[in-house]
């Protein structure tokens, strides 16, 4: 039997060896053409209320950005508050018949709101928690009423039944509740009135209460945010600075930009029914590339401006606006703009009620009320560019594993149609880790539409194809590429293409790009 098994195993091994095989690298080459990018770039997507508008077939820059916003609900901070109340009887012992009230309390709680004096408020959110402790050996009933806290005109009221010597708690969401903060007298401010009544079980037995038995009540108000208020809002002050980053100008390295006259407005808008004061200062155009800053010079800066209170009420609120307008006649706005600052910085101060409580406590704010500083730029989109150059650097990794499937050679094809009256001269560098130029692609000119043919859109355009070849012998070098630098030089040539002029950017101007890659792929199965 053993002999048979040995023969079995030997034959098994021989059979397995017979099926073993060898594997080497397989490779072949295939040719591919793929679309990479296809889009028509135009300014229509920027035509909206705050960036661009169209006027007489040409674009108008209408840039509007909000620099600062102050909402009363955000600075009117109702502190989280817990009102503790304890009650004992003044005599040593008392027998309480069924249903006898042994605690009655009416009180006003005054919120500490600094110099703000509120008569009314509406809560956007908030929670009140009631915790009560029964001193009796029978059930007692706690009736808590907040008469000035109403929802749809109904006061907040809760009755809690608490077992012998027990405690009980409830939480109530105060969202939407209105607070009458005039207290029980009706003439106070920031005062929330409360009423409490505690009585023994009407259907229970008589019960004994001594002066060592304490009735406890805790009312906790927390997370309160208001979206409506009436009263005096104090002399709230805010100040800060704002930087408007214009990243697309950051890469500007050379050349000149000529812009037509335009206006820069700062609009101070007040939709609070309280007077405000504002001051703008330190407005500057910062060109970080050239480390040069042009401050805006105007006698409107560093001055206090009064912004009248808004008018109207619920649904009819009308903001009050005060504008500071800077133009060539009252400021150095032209040099300010043509500094091509990639950052516009400014400082601001605002203050409510600069003259104190002159409204007699009738300041008012609504859910949409705010104090805003807005900048508006109005300019026909007309531009003159004279070798205006931008440059940017990207990290790229074009390396391939040449021992596995890889692109052997190829060409990037760019089909371009330019309908902007701007020409571009693109220069592309591919650098290694040490900044050495490995590839230098120039002669990538994009001609201005000025020299082109009339399209059915009624504007000129010019077509061109650009090809960037990658040769097989460049593969090793391509593996070393770590950065790509592109530099574009823009000009706005005239009809004769001999000198640059101011040009209007026509409506419907577009820049069409179709990019394709054709390449030869060496496909490798296994590894070399």
Partner 1 sequence: MKYLIATYILFGSFWGISQTSLPAVISTEGSSGLFWSEGEFDQRTQSLSNAFSRKLFRGGEISESEINKELDRHRSLNRFGRNYGLNLAFVPKKMKFFSSEHTNWMFELGHQSFLSGSYAKGLFGLAMLGNANYLGEQVSLAESHLTLVDWQHLGVGFYHRPTGSYLTLNVVQSSAFASGDLPVGAYESGADSSWLELSATGNVEYSGGNFGQSWGLSLNGRFQYHMPTGRFGQVPILMEVKNMGIVYMPETVSYRVDTVLRYDGLNLDDILGFRNANFESANWFDTLQVERDTTGSWQLLPASIEISKPLRFVSTTPWQVFYGVRAYPFIRYLPRLHVGINAKVWSGFHAGLVAVYGGFGGFRSGLYVNYASNKLYMGLGTEDIYGLISGKGFGKMLNFRLVCAL
Q: Is 256 in the site for partner 1 (CB under 8 A)?
A: no
21 lies in the site for partner 1, by CB under 8 A: yes
CA neighbor of 441 nearest in space, from 400, 409, 412: 412
Contact between 37 and partner 1 per CB under 8 A: yes
Binding to partner 1 in span 350-369, by CB under 8 A: none
Comparison of 34 and 151: residue with beta carbon closer to partner 1: 34
Question: What are the beta bridge partners of residue 418?
Answer: 462, 511
Name the nearest CA neighbour of 367 among 225, 186, 227, 486.
227
**Minimum separation from the CB atom of position 24 to partner 1 (A):** 2
Neighbouring C-beta atoms of residue 63, cutoff 10 Å? 17
Q: Given candidates 2, 20, 24, 185, which one binds partner 1 under the rule CB under 8 A?
A: 24
User: Of 51, 150, 322, 518, which one interacts with partner 1 (CB under 8 A)?
Assistant: 518
* Sole binder of partner 1 in the list 32, 84, 292, 355 (CB under 8 A): 32
Per-residue tokens: 422: 């701007």
For partner 1, which is the closer residue by CB, 370 or 413?
Answer: 413
Segment 194 to 213, residues that bind partner 1, using CB under 8 A: none
Q: Does 187 bind partner 1 (CB under 8 A)?
A: no
Is 18 among the residues that bind partner 1 (CB under 8 A)? yes
Among 20, 31, 95, 496, binds partner 1 (CB under 8 A): 31
The DSSP 8-state label assigned to residue 213 in this structure reads: -
- The residue within the footprint of partner 1, chosen from 253, 358, 396, 525 (CB under 8 A), is 525
Nearest to 91 by CA among 203, 236, 210: 210
Q: How far apart are CA 51 and CA 65, in angstroms?
A: 9
Quick one: which of 35, 176, 312, 458 contacts partner 1 (CB under 8 A)? 35
Residue 498 interacts with partner 1 (CB under 8 A)?
Answer: no
Beta-strand runs (E) in 327-401:
343-352, 363-365, 371-380, 382-395
Q: Which one among 58, 117, 438, 515 touches partner 1, defined by CB under 8 A?
A: 515
Residue 7 binds to partner 1 (criterion: CB under 8 A): yes
Binding to partner 1 by CB under 8 A, coded x per residue (else -) over 266-285, reads --------------------
The residues, any chain, with a CB within 8 Å of residue 340's CB and separated by 6 or more, are 249, 252, 257, 285, 287
List 121, 184, 339, 514, residue binding partner 1 (CB under 8 A) = 514
- Please give the structure tokens belonging to residue 37: 């990018």
Residue 12 lies near partner 1 (rule: CB under 8 A): yes
Name every residue whose Cβ is closer than 8 Å to that of residue 47 and which is 6 or more positions away in sequence. 53, 54, 59
Distance separating alpha carbons of residues 332 and 326, to the nearest angstrom: 8
Sign of CA dihedral 467, 468, 470, 471: positive
Stretch that binds partner 1, among 15-23, 100-108, 287-295, 338-346 (CB under 8 A): 15-23
Asked if 224 contacts 126 with a C-beta cutoff of 8 angstroms, the reply is yes
Q: Closer CB to partner 1, residue 15 or residue 316?
A: 15
Whether 320 contacts 311, CB under 8 Å? yes
**Residue of 2, 36, 51, 124 interacting with partner 1 (CB under 8 A):** 36
Q: Considering only residues 57, 260, 312, 526, which one is a binding residue for partner 1 as defined by CB under 8 A?
A: 526
Nearer to partner 1, 2 or 453 (CB): 2
Tokens of 441: 């692609």
Q: Does 469 bind partner 1 (CB under 8 A)?
A: no
Cα Rg for the chain, rounded, in angstroms? Answer: 39
Determine if 26 is a binding residue for partner 1 (CB under 8 A): yes
| Residue 29 touches partner 1, criterion: CB under 8 A | yes
Count Cβ atoms within 10 A of the Cβ of residue 356 and give its class: 0-12 exposed, 13-18 middle, 19 or more buried: exposed
Looking only at the bridges linking them, the beta strands covering 423-431 and 437-446 are antiparallel
Closer Cβ to partner 1, 39 or 495, answer by number = 39
d(CA 490, CA 391): 11
Q: Judge whether 327 and 300 are in contact, CB under 8 Å.
A: no
Residue 473 engages partner 1 in binding (rule: CB under 8 A): no
> Of the listed pieces 33-41, 58-66, 108-116, 373-381, which binds partner 1 according to CB under 8 A?
33-41
39 is a site residue for partner 1 (CB under 8 A)? yes
Find the binder of partner 1 among 2, 20, 28, 496 (CB under 8 A).
Answer: 28
Q: How far is the CB of 22 from partner 1 (least distance, A)?
A: 7
Helices first, then strands: H and E counts in the chain? 4, 33
Cα gap 483→476, rounded to integer Å:
16
- Out of 466, 478, 504, 521, point to the residue binding partner 1 (CB under 8 A): 521
- Give 334's contacts (C-beta < 8 A, 6+ positions apart): 259, 261, 328
Q: Which of 2, 4, 207, 345 forms a contact with partner 1 (CB under 8 A)?
A: 4
- Shortest distance, CB of residue 317 to partner 1, whole angstroms? 37
Binding site for partner 1 (CB under 8 A): 1, 4, 7-8, 11-12, 15-16, 18-19, 21-39, 41, 514-516, 518, 521, 525-526
């Amino acid at each position: 039997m053993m002999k048979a098994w040995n023969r079995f195993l030997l034959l098994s091994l021989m059979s397995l060896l017979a099926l073993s095989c060898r594997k080497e690298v397989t490779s072949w080459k295939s040719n591919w053409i793929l679309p990479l990018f296809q889009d028509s770039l135009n300014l229509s997507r920027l035509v909206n209320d705050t960036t661009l508008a169209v006027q007489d077939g040409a674009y108008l820059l209408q840039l509007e950005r909000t620099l600062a916003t102050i909402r009363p609900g955000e600075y009117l901070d109702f502190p989280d508050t817990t009102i503790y109340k304890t009650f004992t009887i003044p005599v040593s012992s008392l027998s309480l018949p069924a249903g006898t009230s042994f605690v009655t309390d009416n009180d006003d709680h005054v919120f500490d709101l600094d110099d703000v004096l509120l008569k009314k408020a509406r809560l956007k959110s908030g929670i009140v928690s009631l915790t009560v402790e029964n001193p009796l050996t029978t059930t007692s009933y706690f009736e808590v009423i907040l008469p000035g806290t109403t929802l749809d005109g109904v006061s907040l009221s809760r009755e809690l039944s608490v077992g012998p010597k027990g405690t009980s708690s409830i939480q109530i969401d105060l969202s939407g509740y209105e607070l009458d903060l005039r207290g029980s007298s009706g003439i106070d401010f920031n005062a929330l009135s409360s009423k409490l009544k505690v009585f023994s079980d009407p259907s229970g037995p008589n019960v004994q209460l001594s002066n060592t038995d304490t009735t406890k009540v805790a009312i906790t108000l927390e997370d309160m945010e208001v979206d409506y208020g009436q009263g005096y809002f104090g002399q709230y002050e805010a100040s800060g600075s704002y930087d408007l980053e214009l990243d697309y100008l950051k890469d500007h390295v050379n050349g000149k930009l000529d812009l037509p006259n335009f206006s820069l407005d700062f609009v101070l808008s007040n939709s609070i029914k309280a007077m405000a004061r504002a001051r703008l200062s330190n407005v500057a155009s910062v060109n970080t590339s050239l480390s040069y800053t042009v401050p805006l010079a105007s006698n409107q800066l560093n001055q206090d401006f009064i912004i009248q209170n808004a008018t109207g009420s619920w649904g009819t609120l009308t903001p009050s606006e005060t504008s500071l307008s800077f133009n060539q006649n009252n400021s150095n706005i032209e040099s300010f703009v043509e500094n091509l600052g990639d950052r516009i910085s400014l400082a601001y101060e605002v203050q409510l009620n600069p003259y104190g409580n002159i409204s007699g406590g009738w300041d008012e704010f609504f859910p949409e009320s705010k104090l805003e500083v807005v900048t508006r730029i109005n300019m026909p989109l007309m531009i003159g560019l004279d070798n205006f150059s931008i440059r940017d650097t990207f990290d790229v990794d074009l390396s391939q594993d040449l021992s596995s499937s890889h692109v052997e050679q190829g060409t990037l094809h760019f089909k371009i149609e330019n309908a902007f009256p701007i020409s571009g001269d693109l220069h592309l560098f591919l650098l290694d880790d040490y900044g050495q130029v490995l590839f230098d692609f120039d002669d990538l000119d994009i001609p201005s539409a000025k020299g082109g043919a009339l399209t059915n859109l009624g504007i000129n355009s010019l077509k061109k194809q650009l090809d960037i070849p990658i040769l097989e012998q460049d593969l090793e070098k391509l593996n070393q590429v770590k950065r790509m630098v592109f530099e574009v030089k823009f000009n706005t040539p005239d009809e004769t293409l001999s000198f640059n002029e101011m040009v209007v950017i026509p409506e419907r101007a577009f820049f069409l790009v179709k990019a394709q890659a054709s390449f030869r792929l060496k496909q490798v199965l296994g590894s070399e």
